[in-house]
Structure 1
Amino acid sequence: MGIKGTLSKPYAHLISNALKRDAKRGVDLQHKIMRSLVTKARKTAFGSDHDFANIETHTDFKNRVPIHDYEGHKPYIDRIIKGENDVLWPGKPAYFCKTSGTTSGAKYIPLTKDSVPYHVNAAKNALLSYIAETGNSSFLDGKMIFLQGSPELEKIGDIPLGRLSGITAHWVPNYLQKNRMPTWKTNCIDDWETKVDKVIKETRVEDMRLISGIPSWVQMYFEQLLEKTGANNVKEVFPNFSLFVYGGLNYAPYKPVFDKLIGEDIDSVETYPASEGFIAYQDSQSEPGLRLNINAGMFFEFIPADQFFEENPPRYHLGEVELNKNYAIILSTNAGLWGYNIGDTVKFVSLDPYRIVVTGRIKHFISAFGEHVIAEEVESSLEEVIAHFDAQVKEFHLAPQINPEDGLPYHEWFFEFDDEPHNLDAFRLKLDKALQDRNPYYKDLIQGNILRPLVISRVEKGGFNEMMKKRGKLGGQNKIPRLSDNRELADLMKPFLK
């Protein structure tokens, strides 16, 4: 084993023990962070507008800081862009992270000199937790690839602007720079297909040991790598490849495809980075869920998902949450976000330590008929059914069909298969039954003849990528929504159906 791998092991155990100590005092840590954030931002424009000077407790905080989405922060962000200091956080942001908005076009999420190091540390802690548990640190002695957005930054006002992965590329520790691929020049390529082709040329002859990225785009890289090398699987090209790090999408539907592409089942580490903060990461290969990043400049609040749209929903701090209940996650951070709804829903699977699973998006559900089907139900239903069929799903999307040309309305599933089920109709009916078992409202609608069982529309090979290309969202950190309450994406898929 090389020197990096050897030296990392005692350090990994040191960090792992520190994280365990943090977990034991999570509630106290969170209250200290809330008070620290409020104190530091007391003299900002937002702090003045919301009476931060008189906030001592969580009750005080809830009474003064309403829940905001991006629209609620936008007037303050516009002031920052115009050059004003001390608006949401002391001074000015170090960066703006550009993300895609829905109601307001592009969103500009602030990152500060206080918040950026926590993004980097969380990624580091995910790897160190893996090393501490498994003893595998050999990947540090080979090459690592991070499939990400361009690190080239623009400016908005006088503040650097880029995608999150591009910004954090500037903060990769020096001791990893020699291991890191692709080259800076290749990473700066905007066109995803051109970029993947160049990445393959650079990496195919290297000792790749860790590969990281959103599963759908890593799959594209793997497929083209095998096509260009003529290899049977990725392990033939990279025999020392031992760790896949991913985030952004549920990996379970992809795993059978990845096992086949890679040639064996290798370890993986899931991360939950967001522009607003690095929320959580997998710290165990044996325990479910992701460790909540409770000591990282973020104060977490949780709203029961089934009460989120009430006029005054309850807001719970970490000490008030329950196991196996869906919550909308709310952040207040040292980047200057306050009572910020990031749009995700999570469920606690452990309270010691605090571990969560991401269950979906608060606005990404299907309730066209009152069924309120969420991503967790959709993905777990598919995972269950795939296990019973000789099938591999490359990508899928689910949308309601409210006004069919004939017959009852239905849920339409768009599937791009790598291998189609040997009996597609049996697959369809079993999938519908699995979803009924998880969602009693959907079951009532089916049994009451309000809806008919789901319909499958088959997408041609490469169809989802072509659709994303037409939207200008191919590759990088862009994700294909798994389900939607409207047919915007479904209608875009029409040219790519079989």
Structure 2
Amino acid sequence: MLALKPLLAKLFAKRVKTSVLKWSNKPVETQHKVFLKLIEEAAHTEFGKDHDFKSIKTHQDFIDRVPIRDYEALKSYVDKVVAGEENILWKGKPLYFAKTSGTTSGAKYIPLTKESMPTHVEAARNAILMYIAETGNSAFVDGKMIFLQGSPILEDKNGVQLGRLSGIVAHYVPKYLQKNRMPSWETNCIDDWETKVEAIVDETLPEDMTVISGIPSWVQMYFEKIQSKTGQKVGDVFKNFNLFIFGGVNYEPYRSKFENLIGRKVDSIELYPASEGFFAYQDKQDEKGMLLQLNSGMFYEFIEADTFFDKNPKRITIEHVKLGVNYVMIVSTNAGLWAYNIGDTVEFTSIKPYRVIVSGRIKHFISAFGEHVIGKEVEYALRDATASTQISVSEFTVAPQINPESGLPFHEWFIEFEDEPDNISALAQRIDASMQQQNSYYYDLIIGKVLQPIQITVVKKNGFQDYMKSIGKLGGQNKIPRLSNDRKIADALYTQKLTK
């Protein structure tokens, strides 16, 4: 007989599925309603007055009045919000600031409002409930669940709570899951990532872990420590562990490594959360892509990535997107972000309903020679090249080598292997062949003798972790970029003697 909590979860999942289908079956109408409500709600803010929101009736009106901005371009408004002023980007004051890194001026402070915060929580919840509705699997809700995340300790910033997004979300775990949640509050508050993971291992080893969640690279670190400490596969230590929830990076480069560490296959749910919004989650186990959240207080625009840096790139809504095109995603939200470039590129895998994959970052690409290589291509090439082999990759990044000691320039692949393969050059040939097949610009440069085929530089065991530690970004939401158009990471790996 099914226990009470799993039974209730199934009933709740059925209700949520009905609600999700209702808006996802009316995508254009749903987005139009969101758009009009956002404009109406913010008309009396400083930003709304500056951009004449009262006269905006159509998407074209919005395009005419509100230019695309990244954080730096919006910063003059954000600074006022951070200083404690009200009604600047959104009505009143935000509930939180999610602190992130990565801009030229240092930390970013992304507002989370009374209206936007619930959408983060609901999307994470609904991802699990949609999985239950599809598979019927709900027994895991009686077991222990873990999310490897940042510290939940928050600071005060002019009357607004400030912290990492994952730490803020930790305050919103539903009461019915509090007893199931791990690690303990005390362990979660540990700042040093390596110390924290050790403590998490000690806490979780005696428990019946059923769900494990986090960015794959850091969950991998947790799994490796469990295996080192017990001498067993993770799936043998946690016999009822059958669901892995992840976000932040593509899981495919990690999949074979994880299956080896776990000792068997487990179901997985991919999430697309960011400080700016919880954009999508995987709603079907057998469908590629994640369901775009069209009813969560966010209005989406898309620009073809190839035209993004043109003077006036065309901005379109979901109604006009096409499958397989690489788009820069622009969002306007009930947290007060307007025509905001989050920096991600996406491709639609389905338009009934609208599902996306994250194909890369508009700033993370290689085009030192006009090749326009994106993250999705390098990830696929590596997966394609290792698919029928026993090769297991722990981590990798790619950078251009413009001035080699001899010969033509090339793309240098820095790869950390679980076990280094005997024939690195054969692997490089397979990767390069896949790159040529995927990217016609790259193919032309190889055939035209502008570039030579890729070269692989092997990174020492735990080399990428050591690099991230050296720049103060070990753990949490931090991750290695798949691509760089410069050699900042590449040179650091050499300087710190992290390559073989």
Which TM-score band applies after superposition, normalised by the shorter structure? over 0.9
Partner of 2:465: 465
In 2: Cα distance, 1:42 partner to 1:256 partner: 50
- Give how far 1:384 is off: 0.6
Alpha-carbon displacement from aligned partner over 1:301-345 (angstroms, at most 9, x marks no partner): 111111111111111111111111111000000000000000001
User: Match for 2:448: what amino acid?
Assistant: G
Given the alignment of the two structures, is residue 80 of structure 1 paired with residue 81 of structure 2, yes or no? Answer: yes
For structure 2, which runs of at least 5 residues remain unmatched after alignment? none
Indicate the residue corresponding to 2:342 in structure 1.
342
Instruction: Return 15-24 or 136-145, whichever deviates more.
Output: 15-24
SS across alignment from 1:110? strand
- After superposition, the CA RMSD in angstroms is 0.8
Cα displacement string for residues 358-414 of structure 1 (whole angstroms, at most 9, x for unaligned residues): 100111100001101011111111111111332000000100011112211110000
Matched residue, 2:357: 357
Native 8 Å contact 2:82 2:109 kept in 1: no
Q: Within 2, Cα distance between the matches of 1:235 and 1:71?
A: 45
Q: Identify the residue that residue 204 of structure 2 maps to in structure 1.
A: 203
Report the alpha carbon displacement of residue 18 of structure 1 after superposing the two structures with TM.
1.5
Deviation at 1:158, TM superposition (A): 2.2
Q: Is the 8 A contact 2:147 2:213 kept in 1?
A: yes
Task: State the Cα distance separating 1:155 from its structure 2 match.
Answer: 2.2
- Name the structure 1 match of 2:135: 134
Secondary structure of residue in 2 paired with 1:346:
strand
Distance in 1, Cα, partners of 2:489 & 2:339: 30
Could you tell me how far apart the structure 2 residues matched to 1:88 and 1:31 are? 20
Deviation at 1:138, TM superposition (A): 1.0
2:194 is matched with: 193
* Inter-partner Cα distance in structure 1 for 2:13 and 2:91: 34
Q: How far apart are residue 140 of structure 1 and its match?
A: 0.3
Alignment partner, residue 59 of structure 2: 58
Q: CA deviation at 1:101?
A: 2.0
Q: How does 1:249-328 map to 2 (within 5 A)?
A: 249-328=249-328
Quote how far apart the aligned CAs of 1:281 are. Answer: 0.1
Residue 113 of structure 2 corresponds to which residue in structure 1?
112
User: Equivalent residue of 1:148, what SS?
Assistant: coil
Alpha-carbon deviations, 1:429-476, whole Å to 9, x = none? 111111011111111111111111111100110100000000000011
The one-character-per-residue Cα deviations of 1:125-151 (angstroms, maximum 9, x if unpaired) are: 100000000000111000000100000
Using the TM superposition, give the Cα deviation of residue 32 of structure 1 relative to its aligned residue in structure 2, in angstroms.
0.7
Q: Which residue of 2 aligns with 1:496?
A: 498
Aligned length: 497
Contact 1:389 1:427 in 2 (8 A): no
Letter paired with 1:108: Y
Q: Does 1:387 align with 2:387?
A: yes
- TM-score (normalizing by structure 1): 0.99
Distance 1:230 1:422 in 2: 26
> What is the rounded CA distance, in whole Å, between the counterparts of 1:461 and 1:3 in structure 2?
46
Kindly report which structure 2 residues correspond to 1:29-40, keeping only aligned pairs within 5 A, or say none: 29-40=30-41
Contact 1:391 1:422 in 2 (8 A): no
2:418 match: secondary structure? strand
Amino acid at match of 1:142: G
Aligned partners of 1:20 and 1:353 also within 8 Å: no
1:195-227 deviations in whole A, cap 9, x for unaligned?
A: 000001100000000000000000000000111
SS where residue 39 of structure 1 aligns?
A: helix
1:213 aligns with 2:221: no
Partner residue in 2 for 1:412? 412
2:235 pairs with 1:241: no
| Shift of residue 108, structure 1, vs aligned partner | 0.5
- Secondary structure class of the residue paired with 1:366: coil
SS in 1 for 2:252: coil
Q: How far off is 1:156 after superposition?
A: 2.3
Question: Percent identical across equivalent pairs?
Answer: 59
The question of whether the paired residues in 2 share the 8 Å contact of 1:390 and 1:419 is answered with no
- For 1:276 and 1:355, locate their aligned partners in 2 and report how far apart those are by CA, in whole Å: 19
Amino acid at match of 2:78: I
Please tell me whether the aligned partners of residues 389 and 422 of structure 1 are also in contact (alpha carbons under 8 angstroms). Answer: no
- Whether 1:366 and 2:403 are equivalent positions in the alignment is no
Q: Say whether 1:41 aligns with 2:42.
A: yes
Shift of 1:43: 0.6
1:422 is displaced (CA, Å) by: 3.4
Q: Secondary structure of 2:461's partner?
A: coil
Q: Distance in 2 between matches of 1:389 and 1:420?
A: 12
Distance 1:102 1:445 in 2: 32
Asked if 2 retains the 8 angstrom alpha-carbon contact of 1:389 and 1:421, the reply is no
**1:174 to 2:182 alignment:** no
2:309 aligned counterpart, secondary structure:
coil
- 1:3 paired with 2:4, answer yes
Q: Which residue of 2 aligns with 1:425?
A: 425
Partner SS for 1:485: coil
Q: Counterpart of 1:250 in structure 2: which amino acid?
A: N
Supply the distance in 1 between the matched residues of 2:409 and 2:371 (Cα, whole angstroms): 13
Shift of the alpha carbon at 1:159?
Answer: 1.4
Q: Is the 8 A contact 1:149 1:166 kept in 2?
A: yes
Q: CA deviation at 1:24?
A: 1.3
8 Å CA contact retained: 1:192, 1:475: yes
Question: Is 1:148–2:149 an aligned residue pair?
Answer: yes
Name the structure 1 match of 2:401.
401
Aligned partners of 2:446 and 2:452 also within 8 Å: yes
Offset at residue 157 of structure 1 (A): 2.3
Q: Equivalent residues in 2 for 1:214-229 (5 A)?
A: 214-229=215-230
* TM superposition shift of 1:2: 2.6
Deviations 1:76-126 (A, max 9, x none): 111112221100000011110011123221111000011000000000110
Asked if the contact 2:343–2:363 (Cα under 8 Å) also holds between the matched residues in 1, the reply is yes
In structure 2, the partner of 1:23 is 24
Moved over 3 A (4+): none
Distance 2:223 2:13 in 1: 30
Secondary structure of 1:377 counterpart:
helix
